[in-house]
Amino acid sequence: MTETANGLFDLAGKVAIVTGAGRGIGAAIAEALAASGADVAVTDMEQAAAEDTAGRIAETAADRIALVTACDVRDNDQVLRTVSELHAAKGRIDVLVNNAGIHRRVPPTDFNPRDLEDLYAVNLTGSFQMCSAVGNVMISQRSGSIINLSALGGGVVGLGRGGSIYGMTKGGIVSLTRDLAAEWGRYSIRVNALAPGWIRTPMTTALQNDPGRSARVLERVPLRRWGECEDIAGAAVFLASDASRYITGHTIPIDGGAANVIAISEEPV
């Protein structure tokens, strides 16, 4: 008997944890997972931000909130505590979304070592620590889906503009995704990544508000618009669900076509 489309995307009975879920892409993903039926642990470095997202989820699906907590992914003790609390409360963890991340533009010829350390600690080390802690749970239950957040400039394309260190960390996420997919596939754990392009988030506010720079960005996007957080959230629901049950080890660009399409002209060639 074939499954209906709704059945394939149904997350009822699944337990998910989203890092950096207090705002932007992380908040949209947490809300979308809950709307699709998952019990969601909303975590963020800032407790108040996590509570804001949980409050929006509670307006329509209060029973879908599994945990609301502050978690700094740089601190492995906090990571282990958060994962342990969720596992104790729900008995399983089916989905991990590694969304927590920071961005700084750092000239490669004149960088502050602290910037290098901070970007690696949050974007790469933090994601690895979450994968390790949740991976132990998923291995024991012989199932799970891990969704890492890379970036268009993180091993998909080179963008320059002082983004080399950020790109190194997000390129590392692509490598981590492939290796964990290879290592944990035997336990029916799928590991994939999403690589957002130019998305309308608090992190890109300055670029959005500069008409000239924003126009130059959109010239490189065939769909000719900024991406919305919900565009990323929909892909996360897909990767969390049985609709993607034979997909692992991939990094999926969500960029309006920017990475793979060159729009030469609107006139016929």
Active site residues: 166
In this structure, the number of other CB atoms found within 10 A of the CB of residue 112 comes to: 11
**How far apart, in whole angstroms, are the C-alpha atoms of residue 189 and residue 139?**
7
**CA 145 to chain CA mean position, Å:** 12
H or E segment to which residue 15 belongs: strand 15-18
How far is it, in rounded angstroms, from Cα 203 to Cα 36? Answer: 26
Q: Which pairing describes strands 15-18 and 65-70: parallel, antiparallel, or unpaired?
A: unpaired
Strand partners, 144: 189
Structural contact between residues 36 and 9, judged by C-beta atoms closer than 8 angstroms: yes
CA angle, residues 20, 54, 38, in degrees to nearest 5: 85
CA atoms within a 13 Å half-sphere pointing along the CA-CB vector of 226 = 15
